[in-house]
Amino acid sequence: MIPQAKILAVETLLVDVPTIRPHRLSVATMNHQTLVLVRIETSDGVVGWGEGTTIGGLAYGEESPESIKVNIDTYIAPMLVGQDPSLPAMLMASVNGHIQGNRFAKCAIETALYDNQAKRLGQPLSELFGGRVRDSLPIAWTLASGDTAKDIAEAERALELRRHNIFKLKIGLRSVKDDVAHVATIKRALGDMASVRIDANQAWSVTEALEGMAMLADAGVDMVEQPIIASDKAGLQRLTQANIIPIMADEALHGPRDAFVVASTQAADIFAVKINQSGGLRGAADVAAIARSANISLYGGTMLEGAVGTMASAQLFSTFHDLAWGTELFGPLLLTEEILREPLQYRDFALEIPRRPGLGIDLDEEKLARLRRDR
């Protein structure tokens, strides 16, 4: 009889990595990303990895890298040490029953548990969520320098390398007309070679959004992401029902309950599914199921995670039959340091999803030891 495995240790790492250029959002400008990584080691020698990375400290959401680490180390890890790792859903039910909120922290823990169990079973993580229907995902790139000429050059280079032909522009720091002029110039330069979308990160009022949407539609932009504050779901419904240009909900979706409200009020045409914002892989799968039931299209979103969170998202998104708007799992490409022994494979405008057990990636723990904040 094989002895039951036990969780020996739950470790949380903060890994600070500079970005290749400033990444400007309406809420913050990023010059580095702090990866929040969770390592779960079990008595049978299996190691599972998870990630709970967020954007811009507390400027974007209610969890910061530091709070994620403290809450995992103080409250969640003690609940898991000594437990049976082959029961990730049961363990997460216990965590959810005792811990309120903390969606990013829970996502990191859940991912590490499922990575650990998938490796134990010798299966890709995707097979624990119904099985994949694709081995690669189309990948958008975000243009966020704020400089029109630089953004055009960046996009043309990505097209030349056959890395991206979908581009999302971060706007919201300037007036609506100035932002639209910036976007329209880029769209004219790229023409039919690329899909151009925008993300205002909640920067506009409803009135500004209606004005901007009309101009963006005339400029040939394909979609507008979360133009108004996330809490104004009635405003989002008004924008969607104006039927000017497809509207994508992002920050308005903090898991299945929000997804149900947005879907039932027809307040979006597209859902940006994010594993961290959904509180984990299972929550994100539920968000996608609600969207499918309501005939809302899917887009695989990112919190600009590193390789761990990116591949966790990719493994789940590979199980979605509908991904009409693609994904934006480009986070590792924004970073100046590689934390894997073998980098993720981006080619022909897509990210390839490995079939190896678990997440299918091999972290370079020596590199992490040098990069972690408490080194």
Instruction: Specify the amino acid at residue 134.
Output: R
> Residue 95 and residue 110: Cα distance in Å, rounded?
10
Asked if residue 104 lies in contact with residue 312, where contact means CB atoms within 8 angstroms, the answer is no
Residue 216: half-sphere exposure toward Cβ, Cα within 13 Å: 32
The catalytically annotated residue of 106, 170, 187, 274 is 170
Q: Say which residues have a Cβ less than 8 Å from residue 223's Cβ, sequence separation at least 6.
A: 197, 198, 245, 246, 247, 248, 269, 270, 325
N-terminal to C-terminal alpha carbon distance within the chain = 41
The vertex-150 CA angle with 148 and 155, nearest 5°, equals: 95
Confidence class of residue 59 from pLDDT cuts 50, 70 and 90? confident
Q: Dmax of the chain from CA atoms?
A: 70
Q: Using DSSP bridges, classify how beta strands 247-249 and 270-273 pair: parallel, antiparallel or unpaired.
A: parallel
Q: Which of 258, 287, 250, 272 is nearest to 172 (CA)?
A: 250
Positive/negative CA dihedral, 52, 56, 61, 67 = positive
Query: How is 87-122 classified by DSSP, letter by letter?
Result: -HHHHHHHHHHH--S-HHHHHHHHHHHHHHHHHHHT
Cα-to-chain-centroid distance, residue 3: 37
How does pLDDT run across 205-260, given as a tens digit for each residue?
999 999 999 999 999 999 999 999 999 999 999 999 999 999 999 999 999 999 99
> Residue 254 and residue 232: Cα distance in Å, rounded?
14
Say how many residues make up the chain. 375
Instruction: Decide if 168 is catalytic.
Output: no
Asked if residue 312 lies in contact with residue 281, where contact means CB atoms within 8 angstroms, the answer is yes
Tokens representing residue 366 in the block: 């020596």
DSSP state of 60: T
How does pLDDT run across 16-50, given as a tens digit for each residue?
999 988 777 666 677 889 999 999 999 999 999 99
Q: What is the pLDDT of residue 28?
A: 67
Q: What is the pLDDT of residue 146?
A: 83
